[in-house]
Amino acid sequence: MIKTLQIWLAIFVIVSLYFYGLDHFIMSVQGLPLNMDLTPAQ
């Protein structure tokens, strides 16, 4: 049970990090950089 929970949590963390990085990448290639908290940097 605990192992299953750990797997789910780990996967959610990895996927969230992926989308977080994706958001930064997509906006910065458009010349619209973001701060760490995803607010506009300009």
Partner 1 sequence: MKESRYSSRLMWLMLLLIAALGFFWSGTVTITNTSGDWFSGAVASVDDVSADEMTAGDAELKLVPAPKPTRADYPDIGVSSRSIVWVVAQMHLFFGALVLAVPLFVLVIELLGMYTGDSRYDDMAHEFMKISITAYSITALFGGTLALSLFLLYPDLMAYLMRVFGAQMMVYAILFFLESMVLYIYYYGWDALRYGNAKWVHLSLGLLLNGVGATLMVTANSWATFMMAPSGVNEVGAVIGNIWEVMKGPLWNPINLHRFIANIAFGGAVVGAYAAYKCLAARTAEARAHYDWMGYTSNFIAILAFLPLPFAGYWLMAEIYAYSQQMGITAMGGILAWLFIIQAVLIGTILLAGNYYLWSGMSRTEGSKRYQGFIKYIAVVLVICFLIWVTPHTLILTSGEIAALGGSNHPLLGALGIMPAKNIAVNLMLIFTFMSFQIYRRSDKVATVSWEKAGNALMVAIYVVAIVNIIFAGVYYGYFTNTVYKVGSSVMQVVSTLTVIISGVVLDAFLYRGAKTLPSHWGQVSNRAQYALFALPIAFTWLMALMGYVRSSVRTHWHVYTVMKDTSPDNFIPTIGYAGNMMTIVTVMFVLFVLFIFWIANLSGTKQVPPYAVRKVPAAERAGDAA
Binding site for partner 1 (CB under 8 A): 4, 7-8, 11-12, 14-16, 18-19, 22-23, 26-27, 30, 32, 38-40
Joined tokens for residue 38: 């995803």
Asked whether the beta carbons of 34 and 40 are under 8 A apart, the reply is: yes
Rg (CA), the chain: 14
Q: Least separation, in Å, of the C-beta of 30 and partner 1?
A: 5
Least distance between partner 1 and beta carbon 38 (Å): 8
Q: Can you list the alpha helix ranges (DSSP code H) found in the chain?
A: 2-29
Q: How far is the CB of 14 from partner 1 (least distance, A)?
A: 8
